């Protein structure tokens, strides 16, 4: 019987990873599927058979072991004892070469492949899962929201070339979602082959930059500007948070860089905290009067913040 080089059929190296094999198969299957205008039943069978072997670790190992000494197109004789090793039975719709290698192991769950080939069951393949990033505001991340999105989804044409298509979906963004988390939309991915189910669409959350807040994991940081007298004498300040405003007491003698915590005003299902970072802003000396005021202050309140240098 004729030896088949499954690596050559898929156009991959013998060292190809599972991901590379899957990618090559999807491209070729989309191009040569009999339902497509560019379809080729014989070529599609070879492609499907090659993927059946190379995507299965056990079958791939067997093929590498017993097929390594052959070249594509040569006659192949199974080694002695091969039938006893794998038992009898029919692989179902595969080539003689495949059946000689894998009697008893089956293929595609014991079904044939293709559509309508001699009454055999059609080849069913789930569509590819897809992933896109979605920008989400911090307010949406904390409170949740329902949005209508227009997404650019990668799609392959009949020649296997990838292009972008627009897709409109309605999605609920759950309260407490964080950076990098994913929302799964079942059946919204790439269409399946041969009546197989669609893949899934994953929305990867990318939090938008905010004019007031910074995010570190589940915690939120807010820079709070204070005047020197507010920091020195203490005061009360209304602080914005993602869940509304709160009143905060600023202790007497607060220094620039100090962090004050507001518990439970961060992100996540179990919310983190909001940290208020103190920044003391000094009014500029723009005229003689303000300069004189600073000179008087320097005389009456001698202070050297660099004494530890």
- Contact in structure between 199 and 209 (CB atoms under 8 Å): no
Q: Listing from the earlier edge strand, what are the strands of the sheet with 201-207? A: 130-136, 201-207, 182-185
- Alpha carbon 276 to its chain centroid, in Å, reads 32
Q: How far is CA 38 from CA 32, 33, 34, 161, 169, in A?
A: 6, 8, 8, 13, 31
Distance CA 49, CA 291 (A): 87
Q: What is the mean pLDDT of residues 283-302?
A: 91
pLDDT bucket at 33, cuts 50 / 70 / 90: confident
What secondary structure letter does DSSP report for 108? G
Q: Which two tokens stand for residue 212?
A: 């007031």
Distance CA 142, CA 144 (A): 6
Q: What is the mean pLDDT of residues 280-287?
A: 93
**Architecture field, domain 130-207:** Sandwich (2.60)
Look at residue 59 in the predicted model and tell me its pLDDT: 82
Same fold: 6-110 with 221-300: no
pLDDT bucket at 194, cuts 50 / 70 / 90: low
Q: Which two tokens stand for residue 88?
A: 């009898």
User: Which of 85-94, 165-174, 280-289 comes out lowest in average pLDDT?
Assistant: 85-94
More confident of the two residues 150 and 98: 150
- Condensed to tens digits (0 to 9), the pLDDT of residues 114-149 reads 443 333 444 567 777 888 888 999 999 999 999 888
pLDDT greater than 80 at residue 199: yes
Look at residue 30 in the predicted model and tell me its pLDDT: 85
Q: Domain ranges in the chain? A: 6-110, 130-207, 221-300
Percent of the chain with pLDDT over 90: 40
Strands (E), the chain: 130-136, 145-156, 162-173, 182-185, 201-207, 213-216, 219-226, 235-239, 246-250, 259-262, 274-280
Positive or negative: CA dihedral 154, 126, 63, 1? negative
Look at residue 83 in the predicted model and tell me its pLDDT: 42
Q: What is the mean pLDDT of residues 207-223?
A: 94
Most confidently modeled of 77-91, 96-110, 129-143, 186-200? 129-143
pLDDT bucket at 158, cuts 50 / 70 / 90: low
pLDDT greater than 60 at residue 171: yes
Enumerate the β-bridge partners of residue 133. 204
More confident of the two residues 61 and 76: 61
Look at residue 79 in the predicted model and tell me its pLDDT: 46
Q: How many CB atoms lie within 10 A of CB 183?
A: 16
Percent of the chain with pLDDT over 70: 76
Q: What is the mean pLDDT of residues 270-282?
A: 95
Q: How far is CA 305 from CA 66, 127, 281, 302, in A?
A: 79, 66, 16, 10
Distance CA 228, CA 242 (A): 27
pLDDT greater than 90 at residue 282: yes
Q: What is the mean pLDDT of residues 191-217?
A: 87
pLDDT greater than 90 at residue 239: yes
Q: Which residue from 134, 142, 139, 144 is spatially nearest to 212, judged by alpha carbons?
A: 139
- Alpha carbon 98 to its chain centroid, in Å, reads 36
Predicted model pTM: 0.55
Q: Say whether domain 221-300 belongs to CATH 2.60.120.480.
A: no
Look at residue 263 in the predicted model and tell me its pLDDT: 95
**Cα angle for residues 124, 130, 151 (degrees, 5° grid):** 125
Q: Could you tell me which CATH class the domain 6-110 is placed in?
A: mainly alpha
Dmax over CA atoms of the chain, in Å, equals 106
More confident of the two residues 94 and 238: 238
């Amino acid at each position: 019987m004729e030896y088949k080089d499954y690596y050559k059929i898929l156009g991959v190296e013998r060292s190809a990873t599972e991901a590379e094999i899957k990618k090559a198969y999807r491209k070729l299957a989309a191009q040569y599927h009999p339902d497509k205008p560019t379809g080729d039943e014989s070529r599609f069978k070879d492609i499907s058979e090659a993927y059946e072997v190379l995507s299965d670790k056990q079958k791939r190992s067997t093929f590498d072991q017993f097929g390594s000494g052959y070249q594509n197109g040569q006659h192949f004789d199974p080694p002695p004892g091969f039938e006893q090793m794998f038992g009898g039975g029919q692989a179902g719709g595969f080539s003689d070469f495949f059946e000689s290698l894998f009697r008893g192991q089956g293929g595609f769950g014991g079904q044939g492949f293709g559509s309508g080939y001699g009454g055999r069951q059609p080849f069913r393949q789930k569509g590819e899962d897809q992933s896109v990033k979605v920008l989400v505001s911090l307010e949406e991340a904390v409170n949740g929201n329902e949005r209508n999105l227009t997404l650019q989804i990668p799609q392959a044409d009949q020649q296997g070339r990838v292009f972008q298509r627009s897709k409109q979906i309605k999605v609920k963004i759950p309260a407490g979602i964080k950076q990098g988390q994913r929302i799964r939309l079942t059946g919204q991915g790439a269409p399946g082959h041969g009546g197989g189910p669609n893949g899934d669409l994953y929305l990867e959350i990318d939090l938008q930059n905010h004019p007031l807040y910074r995010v570190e994991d589940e915690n939120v940081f807010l820079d709070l500007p204070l005047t020197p007298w507010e920091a020195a004498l203490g005061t009360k300040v209304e602080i914005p948070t993602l869940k509304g405003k709160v009143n905060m007491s600023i202790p007497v003698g607060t220094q620039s860089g100090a962090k004050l915590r507001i518990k439970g005003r961060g992100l996540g299902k179990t919310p983190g905290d909001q940290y208020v970072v103190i920044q003391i802003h000094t009014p500029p000396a723009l005229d003689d009067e303000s300069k004189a005021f600073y000179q008087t202050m320097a005389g009456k309140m001698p202070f050297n913040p660099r004494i530890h240098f």
